[in-house]
């Protein structure tokens, strides 16, 4: 294990924008060692007053939709405006292979060589919930290090986009124009979460069907209720490859930031995201305390048997186990 710095060294390094120290602090956050968990909390507590000063943008879309290419172009546009940009990824497939992460790094080569940009893929081999916790904390460190735009990328194939939506201010869904039913393949809930639908790869021979798809989605969204933010979901076309539509998207996001700051939604949303995060942590901790409790571990097979055989109602069985947990917990370390 690489030598750890002191809390003061991490804090100073991060606040001065030292990206080597930032990376090392993120490694502490991602570590599973108990000593690192303590250290991570200390660092986070120190930098917390300096965090939050950014716009957090979630970007999702199915594999191959062009996320990496888009983020590279979008990120370059932002750095050309003098903005400091951090790109974090939540990769539900990172358990499968480290290869996709490497691939992403190389694809975002121009951006990763930009002195105003910082790219950090998520640590592999963690549960999705664990990765999400790390990403939230990493985001706070990046903000304290002076990054003004935080982009969180995830592949839209499961739960991860819901997690990303729950930790960002603005949610961008990249889509492809396809033949046939334009709405197929994308979960309805995800479309409803989006602040903007971007029909990507609107270039070359694709341009026309992208415009058509835009019209179809605009019609489909026509009846959607207005979001609590006061912003109306937009549908646009773009090309990450050619840079089309990119400056317009950034303008839209800036307008959104202004609108929601003025009407109070921006801060309210962040407050409720923080509360959700806390309650989620409580749920996770209670659940693992329950299932790791030795009394529960011993009793579960027997009670499960009763439920399987229908000699006990599932609800009653659950209550029995919970009662066991609550009465025995003082005797058992949890
Ligand atoms: N024509 C066109 N092709 C694009 C565009 N953006 C990306 N591509 C191509 O689409 C393919 C996938 O692009 P990526 O940026 O890697 O897509 P991704 O969504 O990050 O893919 P995963 O990381 O696998 O989920 C590559 O071959 C790109 O060159 C675009 O705007 N126009
Ligand atoms: Mg990618």
Q: Is the four-CA dihedral 193, 196, 200, 206 of positive or negative sign? A: positive
Please work out whether the CB of residue 306 comes within 6 Å of at least one atom of ligand 1: no
Please work out whether the CB of residue 241 comes within 6 Å of at least one atom of ligand 1: yes
How crowded is residue 18: how many other Cβ atoms within 10 Å of its Cβ?
16
User: Quick one: average pLDDT of 65-92?
Assistant: 94
pLDDT digits (tens, 9 = 90+) for 160-198: 888 899 999 999 999 998 744 455 556 667 888 899 999
Please work out whether the CB of residue 201 comes within 6 Å of at least one atom of ligand 1: yes
Residue with CA closest to ligand 1 atom 10: 66
For tokens 């003025």, what's the residue?
A: 262
89, 165: one domain: yes
User: Quick one: average pLDDT of 34-60?
Assistant: 96
> From ligand 1's centre to the CA of 105, what distance in Å?
14
240, 281: one domain: no
Predicted local confidence at residue 225, as pLDDT: 73
101, 190: one domain: yes
Please work out whether the CB of residue 47 comes within 6 Å of at least one atom of ligand 1: no
Instruction: Identify the nearest ligand to the CA of 155 by its number.
Output: 1
Residue 297: which pLDDT band, with cuts at 50, 70 and 90?
Answer: very high
Residue with CA closest to ligand 1 atom 13: 66
Residue with CA closest to ligand 1 atom 25: 63
Instruction: Establish if 23 belongs to a structural domain.
Output: yes
Q: Which tokens go with 284?
A: 């996770």
CATH of the domain at 4: 1.20.5.170
pLDDT digits (tens, 9 = 90+) for 304-329: 999 999 999 999 999 999 999 998 75
67, 216: one domain: yes
The region, left, alpha or beta by phi > 0 then psi within -120 to 50, assigned to residue 17 is: left
Predicted local confidence at residue 155, as pLDDT: 82
As to burial, measured by CB atoms within 10 angstroms (0-12 exposed, 13-18 middle, 19+ buried), residue 168 is buried
Contact residues for 299 (Cβ-Cβ < 8 A; gap 6+)? 321, 324
**Structural domain count, the chain:** 3
How crowded is residue 31: how many other Cβ atoms within 10 Å of its Cβ?
17
Residue of 66, 111, 177, 200 to mutate, ligand 1, most atoms within 8 A of C-beta: 66
297, 158: one domain: no
Please work out whether the CB of residue 244 comes within 6 Å of at least one atom of ligand 1: no
Closest by CA to 182, choosing from 156, 220, 223, is: 220
Cβ–Cβ under 8 Å, residues 86 and 149: yes
256, 121: one domain: yes
Residue with CA closest to ligand 1 atom 8: 66
Cβ–Cβ under 8 Å, residues 199 and 236: yes
Instruction: Establish if 268 belongs to a structural domain.
Output: no
Instruction: Establish if 177 belongs to a structural domain.
Output: yes
Please work out whether the CB of residue 121 comes within 6 Å of at least one atom of ligand 1: no
Cβ–Cβ under 8 Å, residues 282 and 276: no
End position of a domain, from candidates 16, 31, 50: 50
89, 203: one domain: yes
Residue 237: which pLDDT band, with cuts at 50, 70 and 90?
Answer: very high
By residue range, what is the domain housing residue 17?
1-50
As to burial, measured by CB atoms within 10 angstroms (0-12 exposed, 13-18 middle, 19+ buried), residue 19 is middle
> From ligand 2's centre to the CA of 180, what distance in Å?
25
| Higher pLDDT, residue 131 or 261 | 261
> From ligand 2's centre to the CA of 96, what distance in Å?
15
CATH of the domain at 251: 3.40.50.300
End position of a domain, from candidates 203, 237, 263: 263
> From ligand 2's centre to the CA of 198, what distance in Å?
16
Please work out whether the CB of residue 67 comes within 6 Å of at least one atom of ligand 1: yes
What residues pack around ion ligand 2 (CB closer than 5 A)?
A: 67-68, 104
């Amino acid at each position: 294990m690489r030598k750890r710095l002191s809390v003061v060294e991490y804090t100073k390094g991060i606040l001065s924008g030292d990206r080597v120290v930032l990376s090392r602090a993120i490694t502490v956050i991602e570590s599973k060692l108990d000593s690192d968990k303590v250290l991570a909390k200390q660092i986070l507590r120190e930098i917390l007053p300096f965090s939050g000063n950014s716009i957090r943008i979630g970007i999702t879309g199915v594999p191959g939709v062009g996320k990496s290419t888009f983020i590279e172009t979008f990120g370059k546009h932002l750095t050309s405006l003098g903005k400091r940009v951090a790109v974090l990824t939540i990769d539900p497939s990172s358990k499968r292979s480290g290869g996709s992460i490497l691939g992403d790094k190389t694809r975002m080569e121009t951006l990763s060589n930009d002195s105003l940009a910082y790219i950090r893929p998520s640590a592999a081999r963690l549960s999705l919930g664990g990765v999400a916790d790390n990403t939230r904390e990493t985001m706070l460190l990046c903000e304290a290090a002076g990054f003004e735009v935080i982009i969180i990328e995830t592949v839209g194939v499961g739960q991860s986009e819901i997690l990303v939506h729950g930790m960002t201010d603005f949610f961008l869904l990249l889509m492809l124009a396809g033949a046939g039913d334009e709405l197929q393949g994308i979960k309805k809930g995800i479309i409803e979460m989006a602040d903007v639908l971007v029909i990507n790869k609107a270039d070359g021979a694709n341009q026309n069907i992208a415009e058509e798809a835009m019209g179809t989605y605009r019609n489909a969204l026509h009846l959607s209720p207005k979001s609590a933010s006061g912003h109306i979901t937009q549908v646009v076309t773009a090309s990450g490859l050619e840079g089309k539509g990119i400056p317009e998207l950034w303008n839209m996001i800036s307008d959104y930031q202004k609108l929601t700051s003025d009407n109070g939604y921006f801060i309210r949303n962040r407050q409720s995201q923080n509360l959700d995060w806390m309650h989620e942590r409580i749920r996770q901790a209670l659940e693992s305390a329950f299932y790791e409790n030795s009394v529960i571990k011993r009793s579960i097979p027997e009670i499960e048997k009763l439920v399987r055989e229908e000699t006990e109602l599932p609800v009653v069985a659950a209550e029995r186990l919970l009662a066991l947990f609550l009465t025995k917990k003082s005797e058992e370390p949890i």
